[in-house]
Amino acid sequence: MSTLRTLRYGFICTSVAVIALTTAELTLRAFDYGSPREVFRLERDAAGQTWAKANREVFDLERLTGISLNTTACRLPKPDETFRVISLGASTTYGRPYEHRGSFSFFLERLLEELPETLGNRVPEVLNAGLPAASSREVLRIGIAALELEPDILILYAGHNDFGHYSRTDGFTTGLQRFLSDLELTELLGQVIPRDIEVAGPDALERFGSVDPNGSAARRVIENFERNIEELVKTARSKGVPVIVIAPASNLRSWPPNRSVGVRGLRPIQATRFENHRTSARLAFGERDLHRVLRELDAAAAIQPLDATTQFERGLCLEALRRFDDAAQAFRSARDLDALPLRATQAIRRSLRNIAQRSDLPLLDAESVLMARTQPRVPGEDLFIDNVHPYLEGHAILAEAIHRVLVENRYWRGPLPPGRPFDASRWLSPQEEVQAFLLTGEYLYRFGRAQDAERMFRRALERQPTLAESWIRWARFLARLDRVEEANAAFERAGQLAPERGEEIQTYQGHLLAPKDR
């Protein structure tokens, strides 16, 4: 009887909870309260003009330490003379770590201003609606809202994050999250509980699960991605807005796979042979016998063809042997076999290509564009800060390629860019260029690349040796490396350049250079 009573009590409590939640949801829908937050908010100025402004809650602007739109507002209705471009995507579109003024959107607007239309007098306006860590579902939501801003064209650069969003949960939980995210009650709670932004760094990878790149989960990710992008493209076409689809590029040569399958799925004897071949490859590498290294890695790959790390090491060996085409294929296999794919896989890129072909839209292959600058090698740390984020030069190269697509498809009736080498000073002030170097240095240090970070800090000091902020950040960097004498000297130099910041500098100095046993 006690068991029956417990079951009856549990059923009653569950029923009451379901009824209460359902009533709350229906009430919210009836009064349109708690509906999804507007991506852009409309405001009127004193002159009666309407402006669309980015909703700081949606874009988490304060958390991201910058504004996602290059202008804080755009006029509605759009002025007749304005050629409005809106860039959609995630952190690469946003311009991480530079924020907007180091993004391809910023450089594109400078190019359009520099090369005005020869037939017409339209004024270019490029809005950056990139949201770091956004999946295709979030890009769709922002894109639908962006279409209300009367763009002449959309630029879509997305595909790196969908596997990462899926890999944190299993399929059932992901489906449940999708269902819950559509409830207005959930949206109302979300307005109280802020959204967390993923912070880049090697430790962040531990929060993610694994995805079998050839399994059903991966296929569902691809299907959902393609469905979201297809819906965005169809909605844009229904409003007469063309879309430039960009197949994303990533760091192929200098970013090893985040996670590999290893011996998973192998029989014990196969696993032993696989590990023996990899051990022999390491020994051969120590002897600088690259041909033997390749033979051993090929043998290991024949036993376990799904191991991403083996493919990546094959790529390094093939490149050292100057077999660049084979190396490129091995590096791409490593990216596509990554069990934690935080780079757009070939399947994602293929989906974008198929969507562009079906909708008769221009497709820009960012990987091919960047590889044209790194031939015969595939893109690596020469153009990428990390796995997917380009340096300033990479963003400028993408901007030039997008500009070419605009001109060749007659969206913009101006001349083509001259193709001269990238020079940040063309579009950035000395202070902005220095800020870009400092941001890059701090970002590289976060990933454990202290030597590369030091190079960026030194470039900032060379560019403007009298800027106190550069010396302060340089001193803080040196202090983290326990280079005490150099750090003290840098703090002193900062104090000489900015005596009004003396108290702040002394606080930094006392905190960062305090003895470790205090």
Per-residue pLDDT of the chain (518 residues; tens, 9 = 90+): 567 777 777 777 777 777 776 776 566 555 544 444 578 888 898 888 998 887 766 665 444 433 444 455 789 999 999 999 999 999 999 998 887 889 999 999 999 999 999 877 899 999 999 988 899 999 999 999 999 999 999 999 999 999 987 655 444 344 545 544 555 445 544 444 444 434 444 555 555 667 888 888 899 999 999 999 999 999 999 999 999 999 999 999 999 999 999 999 999 999 999 999 999 999 999 999 999 999 999 999 999 999 999 999 999 999 999 999 999 999 999 999 999 999 999 999 999 999 999 999 999 999 999 999 999 999 999 999 999 999 999 999 999 999 999 999 999 999 987 777 777 778 888 888 999 999 999 999 988 889 999 999 999 999 999 999 999 999 999 999 999 999 999 999 999 999 999 888 888 888 877 665 44
DSSP E strands in 171-254: the ranges are 243-247
φ and ψ at residue 87, rounded to 5 degrees: -95, 130
CA–CA separation, 363 and 307 (whole Å): 31
Instruction: Collect all residues with Cβ–Cβ distance below 8 Å to 242 and sequence separation of at least 6.
Output: 153, 154, 236, 361, 362, 409, 411
Residue in the structure block whose two tokens are 């939980």: 173
Closest CA to 84 of 138, 1, 151: 151
Residue type, 140: L
The candidate with the shortest Cα–Cα distance to 135, out of 85, 190, 45, 195, is: 195
